Homo-oligomer: A and B are copies of this chain.
Amino acid sequence: MKLLIINPNISESVTALIEKEARLAAAPGTEITMLTAPMGVAYIETRFEAMIAAYAVAELAAEHAHRHDAVILAAFGDPGLEGLREALDIPVLGMTESALMSACMLGKRFSIIAISRRITAWYRDMVERNGLDGRLASIRCLDEPLRDIGSVQDDHAARLQALCEAAVQEDGADVLIIAGAPLAGLARSIKHQLPVPAVDGVSSAVNHAQSLVSLAPAPARVGSFAKPPRKDFKNLPPGLTRLFGQLP
């Protein structure tokens, strides 16, 4: 099984974090290809940045998906997830959705732990788009400038754990979602210090990708996730040009 994992941010250090956790999570026969967005921002915190990232991701996926069994969008917030799910005929997964699905199977209400205050509105949007706002206990976040996006876990370890505790004790979370690619792997390393199960987006996405590939559902031929109908287009980059050109 071949998984294509795309980091929608331009940060190679975050790609490395994602790759490490993905390889720990993958089953023996699973091969992983990592890609980093060639254009965009260091890390996505806003709807505006996510909008640009979605385009970068779309071109990467259009170019590379055909050699893989599933695609994982490895930024919390899932930029481009629903659009790509229409355009590709293999499973497409996102970190937010995957973490939410894992959390729902471990408890009733979940809290999300985030790396900045600004990012929380976008995360809340994503929970609502998944229709799961009724199960959101809280979103708690770091509230200081980040020195280095690649070392957030180490720089803020104690504070992150305190946020987890507060989400459980004060907000009533049954499950914790440690959100954002820069925190990939943290749930694994601190799980025994936490009072409730903790979920990680990368390892959840890898496992759910393996499940969807194994379940092998037939692709949608009609409805809102069938391929877009063929129509005129122009001035798209090579991957998207080929993808639009192959529409039925």
Interface contact B224-A172, CB-CB below 8 Å: yes
Interface contact B212-A195, CB-CB below 8 Å: no
Residue of B nearest to A200 (CB): B215
Interface contact A211-B207, CB-CB below 8 Å: yes
A173–B228 Cα distance when bound, in Å, is 17
Name the distance in Å between A231's Cβ and chain B's nearest Cβ.
5
Chain B positions within 8 Å of A212 at CB level: 102, 105-106
Interface: A49 (CB within 8 A) = yes
Interface: A131 (CB within 8 A) = yes
On whether A49 and B228 interact (CB within 8 A), knowing A55-B55, A105-B101, the answer reads: yes
Name the distance in Å between A125's Cβ and chain B's nearest Cβ.
7
Partner of A121 from B122, B131, B172, B197 at Cβ < 8 Å: B172
Within 8 A of B (CB), among A33-76: 38-43, 45-52, 54-55, 58
Interface contact B48-A118, CB-CB below 8 Å: no
Interface contact A86-B131, CB-CB below 8 Å: no
Interface contact B196-A83, CB-CB below 8 Å: no
Name the distance in Å between A101's Cβ and chain B's nearest Cβ.
5
On whether A220 and B83 interact (CB within 8 A), knowing A46-B228, A132-B131, the answer reads: no
Within 8 A of B (CB), among A191-248: 191-192, 194-200, 203-204, 207-208, 210-212, 214-215, 217-226, 228-229, 231-236, 240, 244
Interface contact A97-B107, CB-CB below 8 Å: no
Interface: A17 (CB within 8 A) = no
Interface contact A198-B218, CB-CB below 8 Å: yes
Interface contact A195-B224, CB-CB below 8 Å: no
Chain B positions within 8 Å of A235 at CB level: 10, 38-40
Per-position binary interface string of chain A over residues 87-112, scored 1 when its CB falls under 8 Å from any chain B CB and 0 otherwise: 10001010001100110111111000
Top-5 shortest CB links A-B: A121-B224, A197-B217, A39-B235, A55-B55, A207-B211
